[in-house]
Amino acid sequence: MKNILILGGDGYIGWPTAMHFSRKGYSVTVVDNYFRRNIANELKIKMLYEVPSLVERAKLWFEETGNEIKVIIGDLTNPILMRSLFTGEGLIFDWSINPLTYTPDTVIHFAEQPSAPYSVMNYETANITISNNLIVTNNLMFAVKDLAPNTHIIKLGTMGEYGTPNIDIEEGWINIKSNGREDTFLFPRQAGSIYHTSKIMDTDLLWYGVRTWNLRVTDLMQGPVYGIETEESLIHPKLKTFFNYDEVFGTVINRFIAQAVINYPLTIYGSGNQSRGYISLQNSIECIYLASLNIPKAGKLDIYNQIMETLSVREIAEIIISSASELGYKVQIQNIKNPRSELEEHYYNPKYSKLIELGISPKLLNKDSIKQMIIEVEKHRKNIRKSFIFNGIKW
């Protein structure tokens, strides 16, 4: 039985990932400090439905499946806590049937402030984003270097690191010829927010650790994720992950679904021709699992572009409108002045073949998947607050 340590295990992707590995028979430990929940409370943001605490969810998972997910509540910017995850010294479990000291075979790193809009609200939120994200990553890197050099680190990156260059986006690396010489470098990054900039710095930190200490790292450049249910969450309704529809934590597809359900116009920023790569929640956790099976050699940084398709915001809106109309909803588009500093007309052609070649079966955005989401969100329609959808955070 392999040991999986998930940092940020309470999150939108973290919790479904924990269930996925647990169901497959892995020994899973999750760590979180409710960072995202606390920010949402501070900003008075409500989710579509209430989500039990991490401890409560782990207990429910055990009751329903007989599989244990160990829980530790703590702040991973504390290097002592991070290092204790590899030594067991002073480690306190908030939920565990049989706490054991072990070295994790794989560490999956989600433990970061995940919102681009939050990161640019003001200098304080920018500082919180940079300090949290980089210190956690640095603590992890040194803990693995010092205590578990063979442990595989999987870090969740973002396609937003690349920006929208006027050339094809390769999967992490690019060959450059200059003055008769040639070498391979990390693909140039040009982030559009403080959050995305912190993720670039994460990549650079881990690339340093790989080059210098022969660490084994996989960096997953993930696009915006959408969806509610996964195979594991269908076991019990209280095992569902977060669903945000607000402008701080709600990704565009999830946000548009909620707007459609309450007949709120789909708020397209600017022209709506901004293109990005997207992936379903189910595909996301499947990709993470597949990455865990393909361990890089020591001293190697593997990078995968974790998306399944590219779409413009307008294309997304049109698919949602068409799907919603078949369910009796009358939804319209409202173009609003773009609060973001971004190109609305741009070239966008990322490569994303590696995970598909490894065996992922893409789940694409279509009417059936949209309808399923609409039907699920409709169950919680009374909880949706229009005031959360758009307040014009500028960046």
Map tokens 């995305």 to a residue: 196
Axis crossing angle, helix 313-326 with helix 367-378, rounded to the nearest 10: 70
Catalytic residue among 12, 26, 118, 195: 195
**According to the model, what pLDDT value does residue 391 have?**
74
Asked if 195 is an active-site residue, the reply is yes
Which of 196, 32, 204 shows the shortest CA–CA distance to 119? 196
In this prediction, residues 272-276 reach a mean pLDDT of 93
Burial of 94 by CB count in 10 Å (0-12 exposed, 13-18 middle, 19+ buried)?
middle
In this prediction, residues 309-322 reach a mean pLDDT of 96
Whether the predicted pLDDT of 24 surpasses 80: yes
Burial of 197 by CB count in 10 Å (0-12 exposed, 13-18 middle, 19+ buried)?
buried
Whether the predicted pLDDT of 392 surpasses 80: no
The secondary structure of 195-206 as a DSSP string is HHHHHHHHHHHH
Catalytic residue among 17, 125, 151, 158: 158
Asked if 12 is an active-site residue, the reply is no
In this prediction, residues 295-308 reach a mean pLDDT of 98
- Structural domain spans, the chain: 3-244+280-307+347-363
In this prediction, residues 117-132 reach a mean pLDDT of 96
**According to the model, what pLDDT value does residue 93 have?**
95
Burial of 357 by CB count in 10 Å (0-12 exposed, 13-18 middle, 19+ buried)?
exposed
Burial of 268 by CB count in 10 Å (0-12 exposed, 13-18 middle, 19+ buried)?
buried
Q: What is the pTM of this model?
A: 0.96
Provide CATH code, domain 3-244+280-307+347-363: 3.40.50.720
Residue pLDDT, tens place only, 162-209: 999 999 999 999 999 999 999 999 999 999 999 999 999 999 999 999
Residue bearing the bigger pLDDT, 341 or 361: 361
Distance CA 315, CA 271 (A): 11
Residue pLDDT, tens place only, 61-115: 999 999 999 999 999 999 999 999 999 999 999 999 988 777 999 999 999 999 9
Asked if 158 is an active-site residue, the reply is yes
**What is the radius of gyration, based on Cα positions, of the chain?**
20
Distance CA 281, CA 226 (A): 6
**pLDDT band at residue 395 under the 50/70/90 scheme:** confident
**According to the model, what pLDDT value does residue 186 have?**
97
Averaged pLDDT score across all residues of the chain: 95
Catalytic residue among 199, 226, 240, 289: 199
Map tokens 């940092």 to a residue: 7
Count Cβ neighbours within 10 Å for each residue of 166-194 and write b for 16 or more, e otherwise.
eeebbbbeeeeeeeeeeeeebbebebbbb
Residue bearing the bigger pLDDT, 269 or 104: 104
